[in-house]
Structure 1
Amino acid sequence: MLKTLGFAIICLLLFGRCAQQVSPTGGKKDSIPPNLIQSIPLNKTLNFKENRVELFFDEYVVVDNITQKLVITPEADNPYSYRLNGTSIVLNFKKQFQDSTTYTLNFGDAIKDFAERNPAKNLKLVFSTGSSLDSGRVYGMVKDVQTNKPLFDALVGLYNPTDTLNPAKQKPFYFSRTDSSGVFSIENVQTRNYTMIAIDDKNRNMLFNAKDERIGFLSKPISAGVDSVSYNILMALSDNTPLKVQRTLPKVNNYTVVFSKPIEKVKVTFMNKDSLPYMIENGEQIKFFNVQPHSDTTLVKLSVTDSLETSTEFDQKIAFQAPRGKERQKDQFTISSRPENNRPLANSFSYRLIFNKPVQTIEDSKIELITDSLTHETLKNFKSTWNETHNELTIEGKSFAKDTIKWEIPKGSVISVEGDTLARTLIKHPVLNEEDFGILRGKVIGADTSKLYKHFIIELMDDQYKVIDRQYSSPYNFIHIPQGKYFLRLILDLNDNKRWDTGQVNKGIQPEPIIYLPEKTLIKSNFELNDINITLPKAP
């Protein structure tokens, strides 16, 4: 009996030591965020002269990156430390706050409950160091100008209106962030004039990064009052940073100049007797080709136009690498098409052949368009035009095919500037069946009488806002539309450059206005939708 009892005690001790203590399982997950039950000072306290702030909650809390997430407006140059005491948090500021000023401490999601990390919602503390609270308020909505959709978590800031204002270097005096409906509200601000700017602020540093952040602004200063009006801000990408040569890529066969942002066009002036073929590649670089004979170093002047139609000039030295082997290895000569291979093509078509090198010669009498394997017609019989750098050929034509259209490009019929040729190439397209597609027609009301909005662009977009087709006159007529839902918008092309311009905040230039039909348009197969009209706005 004693042996049995002793063995049981030993087992209990062993298993007791080895057992792992865990929290009880089961039950509902805690989804309730911590609630603020008291604060020092109380919300909307007047004549606050201390440099210590304390918050008390109804449960244990933790702090998550508070130095980044706590935002104090107006911005206070007043460093602080914090201490977590279970259910309370203490902020100790280095110095007292500026006199006669209303401050707002917005904690974002910096404070969370201990168990499930649920963030406290709308946690904000307002107090004044003077005898009254600032009562100014500014509110409104932020949308993307190209999609007309509300933007979530955009930073809307109020800045002191000055001629030297630069949101890339200056933080706003007051600010707020938009909710999921694109709505913002900035409260307890001084009742005076401000410049209002909205930015994406992806890295949450409260500064504008022109490379990858959208921006929107109001052209005139606004007045923040007690009964402020609602403001609408439209945001768009607008990279107004100076165009620079980012790097160069010298090789034996070519020399590439890479720019800091996309470019639209380039004019190359050779400074000596040399002349080299070149082309724009990937929309951000210029590639020069090593075609003999030429000097060891070729000097060129580049006049480059970026997406904001700003031209910049560069003096550039083109120096190819010296060949190391017996024979230079060339990049393969390739071709692509628009529409792409195997995409449907209408009998009346505008077609592009795109080469990865400038073309030196093309024998258009050998390149054939074959329709239904019966009719052969040479490229020579079609109207075609080259782009300036001779690497894109646009073809206008018509066929009478019922099933397929096929381009046959024999080997040797296209020679690049490097002297190499394409392999035998076949590019095939099924013929569009008219019954599988819909038609959308309409007009721009006021186009004949408007003196201000003489030029416009009508764009048809799919439900992902990808542009399917565009036209530049009224009435418009979109054909060969696959069945589905589409958006229709009108761009007011104020400078008649056949493109939408994003605007420039540093010059006070707003993006070109865009008018949307409010709802998606359903296009059905073998169906015509007529009289879908867009009305021009009245001149301001």
Structure 2
Amino acid sequence: MLRTIVFAILVLLMFERCAQMVPPTGGKRDSIPPNLVESNPINKTLNFKGRKVELFFDEYVVVDNINQKLVITPEADNPYSYKQNGMSVLLTFKNQFKDSTTYTLNFGDAIKDFAEKNPAKNLKIVFSTGSTLDSGRVYGTLKDIRTGKPLFDALVGLYNVSDTLDIAKQKPYYFSRTDSSGVFSIENIQTRDYKLIAIDDKSRNMLYNAKDERMGFWGKTIKAGTDSVAYNLNMYLSDNTQLKVQRTLPKVNNYTVVFSKAIEHAEVTFVNKDSLPYLLEPNGTNLKFFNVEPHPDTTIVKLKTLDSLGKTTEFEQKIAFQAQRGKTRQLDPVSLTTLPEANKPVTNTFIYKLILNKPVRSLDDQKIAIISDSLTHEPLSAFKYSWNKNHNILTIDAKSFAKDTVKFDIPKGSIVTVEGDTLPKTMLRHPVLNEEDYGVIRGRVTNADTSMHFILDLVDEQYKVIETLHESPYVFKNIPQGKYFLRITIDKNRNKRWDTGQMDKNLQPEPIYYNPDKILLKANFELNDINITIPEEK
């Protein structure tokens, strides 16, 4: 009897195991996205008064980061919760929707099938709380003005026209996000006047952060629904925040004033005829003063700064170094960089820069030598050279007769900084450029009148500037083999740099255009008639 019972239990277990549902282990992968079969309210419903939106699909679905991906326009400021129930998703809103308004719920890829996570495509519900649906539409593209590349997932907004519009504090009334091609489309909007503005919106809070987000705007008010043109916006950085002294870093040897953003120039005026060496560090935010005896305990300076927008700001600043402890100071080491960079090839006639991290007090131009192929030693005094205003950058008009290598021999003690320290013995080496290993690119700028000023850049595939010219016809010589783009900037204010836009002044950035064709350059080749055309302004 016991054997019979045990046998029966084993048979039941085998049948139960055979009846278990397991996913198939082979076959074709499911690539079909879930389809919306019904919604409540149905799409394009009028006079909707409810607070719940429910979607029904033809298969089991999951919800993926819906709070980030669901775009509701106009911006409703109406919190919601969601509930996933097999083949349906229910949204419950806290408040009633605003009367006589058309709302669009664009789900993006927030809802996917359960098995393979294929997102539902073009999932959008439109309804109106009034008796009509708004039919206005605004569309276009975004691109980065410096690279010409389209921008993905940037926020494009329609703002109510106002003299007090502040996109750092006000969210757009209608908005959309760009696809991978930089294309945007804002639909079912009221036909009236708007301000069209785009921002990076990296934080996804729909507010503009000028410190690190690009923006672009249409210079005129647009009327959604009546304008049939595509709005193509250029995006750029434009930090219009007020420049401030963010903090100070007092030390025994130096005192650093740290600004809230990078500046391009600082004019320093010392009060009471005192003086200290100083320099603006390469990051553009740190203005460093050096402790050189004798000087009073506190030095007062007036600062006049210039930022990237051309705006000047004036400060009065007290410079007070920390008290020294002990008999000797611990100095920051002297560092040196060069242009061209170390080991980069040079021609026999070239401009050379020595860049130090401290102002220089003295230089012995008899000891520093330029060596050609280890045979010819010429002292620096034989060449023309000059210092910058802060005495930390030495520019040399260099010449050599080397066939293989040019060297700069800088003995210890030949360069002494304002702090009394020096470089260790330094030997800088550069191979002599072999023209057969490089190429030449020639061409001209077309459609440019004689009064037009421009900046012509040869850039690589990472948009790093290889060389810059300002004339036409042009010649780029000694260019390494590689792939390049030709870029031209219209220098409207003739300051030989690109100037960004300023929305508060309704000022667009200086135009930038690319030659559409990539340049493929081989060693020992000359490419001629590589012309770039400036489009006619409309």
TM over 0.5: yes
* Structure 1 residue 293 corresponds to structure 2 residue 294: yes
- Map of 1:455 onto structure 2: 453
- Map of 2:502 onto structure 1: 504
CA distance in structure 2 between the aligned counterparts of 1:150 and 1:316, rounded to whole angstroms: 44
- Map of 1:335 onto structure 2: 336
Change beyond 3 A, Cα 1:24–1:443: closer
* Aligned residues of 2:53 and 2:92 also touching (Cα < 8 A): yes
CA distance in structure 1 between the aligned counterparts of 2:7 and 2:123, rounded to whole angstroms: 59
The residue identity in structure 2 corresponding to 1:47 is N
* Aligned residues of 1:196 and 1:221 also touching (Cα < 8 A): yes
Change beyond 3 A, Cα 1:539–1:93: closer
* Structure 1 residue 478 corresponds to structure 2 residue 476: yes
- Map of 1:389 onto structure 2: 390
Q: Any idea what SS the aligned residue of 1:108 has?
A: coil
CA distance in structure 2 between the aligned counterparts of 1:242 and 1:95, rounded to whole angstroms: 39
CA distance in structure 2 between the aligned counterparts of 1:399 and 1:357, rounded to whole angstroms: 28
CA distance in structure 1 between the aligned counterparts of 2:534 and 2:229, rounded to whole angstroms: 25
- Map of 1:432 onto structure 2: 433
Q: How do 1:11-160 residues align onto structure 2 when only pairs under 5 Å count? A: 25-160=25-160
Alpha-carbon displacement from aligned partner over 1:145-172 (angstroms, at most 9, x marks no partner): 1111111111111111222212111111
Alpha-carbon displacement from aligned partner over 1:188-244 (angstroms, at most 9, x marks no partner): 111122111111111211111111111111111112125621111110111111112
Change beyond 3 A, Cα 1:2–1:153: same
Q: How do 1:483-494 residues align onto structure 2 when only pairs under 5 Å count? A: 483-494=481-492
- Map of 2:252 onto structure 1: 252
CA distance in structure 2 between the aligned counterparts of 1:32 and 1:178, rounded to whole angstroms: 24
CA distance in structure 2 between the aligned counterparts of 1:331 and 1:77, rounded to whole angstroms: 54
> Comparing 222-231 with 147-156, which one deviates more in the overlay?
222-231
TM-score (norm: length of structure 2): 0.93
CA distance in structure 1 between the aligned counterparts of 2:22 and 2:267, rounded to whole angstroms: 72
* Aligned residues of 1:503 and 1:510 also touching (Cα < 8 A): yes
* Aligned residues of 2:243 and 2:260 also touching (Cα < 8 A): yes
Offset at residue 26 of structure 1 (A)? 4.3
Offset at residue 118 of structure 1 (A)? 3.4
CA distance in structure 1 between the aligned counterparts of 2:524 and 2:93, rounded to whole angstroms: 71
The residue identity in structure 1 corresponding to 2:507 is I
Q: Any idea what SS the aligned residue of 1:194 has?
A: strand
Q: Any idea what SS the aligned residue of 1:81 has?
A: strand
Which ranges in structure 1 are unaligned for 5 or more consecutive residues? none
* Aligned residues of 1:135 and 1:226 also touching (Cα < 8 A): no
Q: How do 1:89-238 residues align onto structure 2 when only pairs under 5 Å count? A: 89-225=89-225, 228-238=228-238
The residue identity in structure 2 corresponding to 1:298 is T
Q: How do 1:295-334 residues align onto structure 2 when only pairs under 5 Å count? A: 295-334=296-335
- Map of 2:348 onto structure 1: 347
Offset at residue 7 of structure 1 (A)? 11
- Map of 2:533 onto structure 1: 535
The residue identity in structure 2 corresponding to 1:529 is L
The residue identity in structure 2 corresponding to 1:93 is F
Change beyond 3 A, Cα 1:81–1:450: same
CA distance in structure 2 between the aligned counterparts of 1:369 and 1:391, rounded to whole angstroms: 20
Report the aligned-residue RMSD: 2.5
Q: Any idea what SS the aligned residue of 2:255 has?
A: strand
The residue identity in structure 1 corresponding to 2:316 is D
Offset at residue 334 of structure 1 (A)? 2.0
Q: Any idea what SS the aligned residue of 2:272 has?
A: coil
CA distance in structure 2 between the aligned counterparts of 1:226 and 1:316, rounded to whole angstroms: 55
- Map of 1:380 onto structure 2: 381
- Map of 2:411 onto structure 1: 410
The residue identity in structure 1 corresponding to 2:521 is I
The residue identity in structure 1 corresponding to 2:357 is N
> Comparing 101-110 with 249-258, which one deviates more in the overlay?
101-110
Q: Any idea what SS the aligned residue of 1:68 has?
A: helix
* Aligned residues of 1:438 and 1:524 also touching (Cα < 8 A): yes
* Aligned residues of 2:71 and 2:176 also touching (Cα < 8 A): no
- Map of 1:421 onto structure 2: 422
CA distance in structure 2 between the aligned counterparts of 1:457 and 1:103, rounded to whole angstroms: 47
Change beyond 3 A, Cα 1:166–1:9: same
> Comparing 490-499 with 309-318, which one deviates more in the overlay?
309-318
Offset at residue 23 of structure 1 (A)? 5.7
- Map of 2:519 onto structure 1: 521
Alpha-carbon displacement from aligned partner over 1:406-425 (angstroms, at most 9, x marks no partner): 00011111100001111111
CA distance in structure 1 between the aligned counterparts of 2:75 and 2:334, rounded to whole angstroms: 58
The residue identity in structure 2 corresponding to 1:409 is I
* Aligned residues of 1:341 and 1:429 also touching (Cα < 8 A): yes
- Map of 1:365 onto structure 2: 366
Offset at residue 378 of structure 1 (A)? 1.4
CA distance in structure 2 between the aligned counterparts of 1:117 and 1:59, rounded to whole angstroms: 12
Offset at residue 367 of structure 1 (A)? 0.7
CA distance in structure 2 between the aligned counterparts of 1:460 and 1:373, rounded to whole angstroms: 35
Which ranges in structure 2 are unaligned for 5 or more consecutive residues? none
* Aligned residues of 2:515 and 2:533 also touching (Cα < 8 A): no
CA distance in structure 2 between the aligned counterparts of 1:91 and 1:373, rounded to whole angstroms: 79
CA distance in structure 1 between the aligned counterparts of 2:527 and 2:156, rounded to whole angstroms: 41
Change beyond 3 A, Cα 1:326–1:22: farther
CA distance in structure 2 between the aligned counterparts of 1:529 and 1:431, rounded to whole angstroms: 23
> Comparing 528-537 with 313-322, which one deviates more in the overlay?
528-537
Alpha-carbon displacement from aligned partner over 1:50-90 (angstroms, at most 9, x marks no partner): 22211111222233333333222112233333333222122
Offset at residue 444 of structure 1 (A)? 2.2
* Aligned residues of 2:252 and 2:291 also touching (Cα < 8 A): yes
* Aligned residues of 1:155 and 1:200 also touching (Cα < 8 A): yes
Q: Any idea what SS the aligned residue of 1:506 has?
A: helix
Offset at residue 21 of structure 1 (A)? 10
- Map of 2:493 onto structure 1: 495
The residue identity in structure 1 corresponding to 2:70 is L
